[in-house]
């Protein structure tokens, strides 16, 4: 498996999920292992019940199913070249700002509720 991140520049983290140890903690499935290149990092992937729907949706995507059929029957996969990722900084930072604003408002609401509970006590 290869993982790309804007923070890594053009580098890709490489890992082999077959080497990962699977455990459970609380309500999560934890995959623990090590990335191999370009750096060696201990990695934990935590899967929550909320993630299962997204994983199934990805697995049932027609493009993914077609690729899996090609792999299973060892059919030739058309070479589409190296995939290039186009980062949309403006759109991503806007979405990130919106998520942070939502998180901050939830935190503020929780803080206010906690303060109200303390004042009643």
Q: Is 90 exceeded by the pLDDT of residue 85?
A: no
Domain that holds residue 98: 88-121
Statement to judge: residues 39 and 58 lie in one domain: yes
Q: Are residues 78 and 99 in the same domain?
A: no
* Same domain, residue pair 79 and 92: no
Q: pTM above the 0.95 mark?
A: no
In order of 42, 66, 93, 96, 109, the CA distances from 102 in angstroms are 31, 38, 14, 10, 11
pLDDT digits 0-9 by tens, 52-64: 999 999 999 999 9
The total number of structural domains that make up the chain: 2
Q: Are both 68 and 21 inside the same structural domain? A: yes
Residues 81 and 119 in one domain: no
Please provide the average confidence, as pLDDT, over all residues in the chain.
80
Give the residue with greater pLDDT, 106 vs 10: 10
């Amino acid at each position: 498996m290869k993982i790309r991140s804007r923070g890594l520049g053009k580098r890709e983290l490489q890992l082999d999920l077959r080497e990962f140890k699977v455990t459970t903690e609380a309500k999560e499935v934890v995959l623990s292992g090590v990335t191999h290149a370009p750096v060696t990092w201990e990695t934990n992937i935590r899967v929550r019940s909320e993630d299962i729907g997204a994983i199934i949706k990805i697995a049932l995507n027609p493009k993914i199913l077609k690729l899996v059929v090609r792999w299973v029957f060892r059919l030739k996969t058309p070479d589409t070249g190296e995939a290039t990722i186009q980062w949309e900084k403006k759109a991503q930072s806007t979405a990130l700002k919106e998520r942070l604003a939502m998180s901050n408002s939830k935190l503020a609401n929780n803080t206010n509720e906690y303060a109200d509970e303390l004042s009643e006590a």
